[in-house]
Chain A
Amino acid sequence: MSDGIRARFGIAYEGFGLDVDLTLPGRGVTALFGPSGSGKTTCLRAIAGLEHAPGGYLAVKGEVWQDDANGVFLPTHRRALGYVFQEASLFPHLDVRRNLDYGMKRVAAAQRRVAFEQAVALLGIEPLLERRPAGLSGGERQRVAIARALLTSPRLLLMDEPLAALDHERKREILPDLERLHDELEIPVIYVSHASEEVARLADHLVVLDAGKVLAAGPLAATLARLDLPIRLGEDVGIVLDAAIVERDAAWHLARAEFAGGSLWVRDSGHGVGQRVRLRVLARDVSVTLRPQEGTSILNTLPARIVDIAADGDPALALVRLDVGASPLIARLTHRSAAALTLAPGMEVWVQIKAVALIG
């Protein structure tokens, strides 16, 4: 696929190896997800050419960046990529404007597709332009670093846990910026993270890495709904649904979001009717009943069919994979409940969803 990204790397270090063969979509956000030491960052650095994985192959949208079999290895500065590092990495000797200019002026004018004003507006950093990096907060620095990377008009944007060094508040400030970036620019992003919330919010495509190997790769919703992954999103096992707001109930401050297979009431967060949103439903917030319940406080009850049942990490708990129409859902139950209800694949049941998070 000439418009996608093909990456094949094998790196053997002492005590650690990276062995990946990935085909990634040429648009949207791909999350490289895994615990620390799983090789996420090494993989990203190999894509950037900061690390030379011998015998590797890398093609980005039809452009070969590395093909060791044919002696091709473009140095980093000749790859049309943007790289956002984990910690703020602004040049301390330059003010914000000149940091932003640094990459932009090294790209031929004819190849610039992101305008200075556009990047500055997207990240909301107009008031910072004349400031020095030393005087900026961590969140501000990271925004400038993202804008600086965008201004090189990259064909591929690599982000290495760009929010990891920020506190919770700053993360909440920047996440919407990253979503806007996702929506407004056509630049594919590879996003390294070990935070499931960021992945659920931002990613379209998910690659799960562990010990330098790819455990799973595929579209986000389908990959999250797999029960066979030894590495799950921890306490945060759950799925995401792409939905659209179809109704708002002003009296109760609720909104109805429709997805492929049904609809869910969520708290109204100001999205207009027709707007696309992403819903996140955690397995621990889903319970299963044999019949629709009456007299419950739970708003969202949907018919579903059991696809699979698997053990969870905890010996008391089971994960039940269900289909609601065309959408997957995961419920976390005790084995005892599953046995009491004699749950089995193929059964038609009802699910009660206690909480739905509207993310972006």
Chain B
Amino acid sequence: MLTAADLAAIWLTLKLATITTLLLLLIGTPIAWWLARTGSKLKGSVGAVVALPIVLPPTVLGFYLLLLMGPHGVVGQFTQWAGIGLLPFTFWGLVVSSVFYSMPFVVQPLQNAFEAIGERPFEVAASLRASPIDAFFSVAIPLAKPGFVTAAILGFSHTVGEFGVVLMIGGNIPGATRVVSVQIYDHVEALEYAQAHWLAGGMVAFSFLVLLTLYTLNPGRRAR
């Protein structure tokens, strides 16, 4: 059965994934909107930076985030100056790195959803006196709803499955940075296969349910 340490890891993982997903919806929406609508020359570069975590080994991403947030990094110096202290090996350090790590899984579905709306509904909204901001909330967001569902589910589950970045940034601190994937690793290292099975099997079931929900709720968009 699950031990108290296992339950703590599950709780921490869910907390991390929830906070990360919420932050990503807030940050990712304007980025996706901009990427979907801009004619700027920067579009390609920004899109590529957002997509980097898809191709980079998590250890590479974790390594640079560690340097950036460390005592000599730009972010680290800022957080120390702001009185927050240093982020590596803290829960909030994990949140920040998860935001980067899961960013493409939120931004890309949103961008696709925004692009699929096309120009016409916004022209219609403008002819009905809606300002661009108004049309964003009254037209773009409702029409992109399937994209938001996909983005939230993918962002959440991708954060749950994170391992390499966590090890690089968070290490293995119970209750602060020891998430499920790390806990499984520890069990296997200690040859506690039964314990590992409970968590690993749970992850398989969880992932299957997430994808099942995604494909059932959103068949049209996935098929396209």
Q: Quote the shortest CB–CB distance from B12 to chain A (angstroms).
A: 37
Tell me if B192 is interfacial: C-beta within 8 Å of chain A.
no
Give Cα A198–Cα B131 distance, bound, in whole angstroms. Answer: 33
B114-128 CB contact bits vs A (8 Å, 1 = yes)? 000000110111111
Tell me if A93 is interfacial: C-beta within 8 Å of chain B.
yes
Q: Is the Cβ of A102 less than 8 Å from the Cβ of B120?
A: no
Say which residue of A75, A91, A92, A148 sits within 8 Å of B126 (CB atoms): A75
Say which residue of A49, A50, A103 sits within 8 Å of B129 (CB atoms): A103
Give Cα A45–Cα B127 distance, bound, in whole angstroms. Answer: 11
Q: Is the Cβ of B142 less than 8 Å from the Cβ of A76?
A: no
Q: Is the Cβ of A81 less than 8 Å from the Cβ of B127?
A: yes
Interface-lining segment among A82-90, A204-212, A332-340, A343-351: A82-90
Tell me if B200 is interfacial: C-beta within 8 Å of chain A.
no
Give Cα A92–Cα B125 distance, bound, in whole angstroms. Answer: 13
Q: Is the Cβ of A106 less than 8 Å from the Cβ of B127?
A: no
Tell me if A291 is interfacial: C-beta within 8 Å of chain B.
no
Tell me if A168 is interfacial: C-beta within 8 Å of chain B.
no
Q: Is the Cβ of B129 less than 8 Å from the Cβ of A91?
A: no
Q: Is the Cβ of A106 less than 8 Å from the Cβ of B121?
A: no
Chain B interface size, as a band, is 10 to 19
- Nearest A residue to B138, CB-CB: A102
* Interface-centre pick from B123, B131, B135, B142 (highest chain A CB count, 10 A): B123
Interchain Cβ contacts under 8 Å between A and B, 14 examples: A76-B126, A77-B125, A77-B126, A77-B128, A77-B134, A78-B129, A81-B127, A85-B120, A85-B123, A91-B121, A93-B142, A102-B125, A102-B138, A149-B127
Which residues of chain A have a CB within 8 Å of any CB of chain B?
48-50, 75-78, 81-83, 85, 89, 91-93, 102-103, 106-107, 148-149, 152
The 5 closest A-B pairs by CB, nearest first: A103-B128, A83-B127, A76-B126, A106-B129, A93-B142
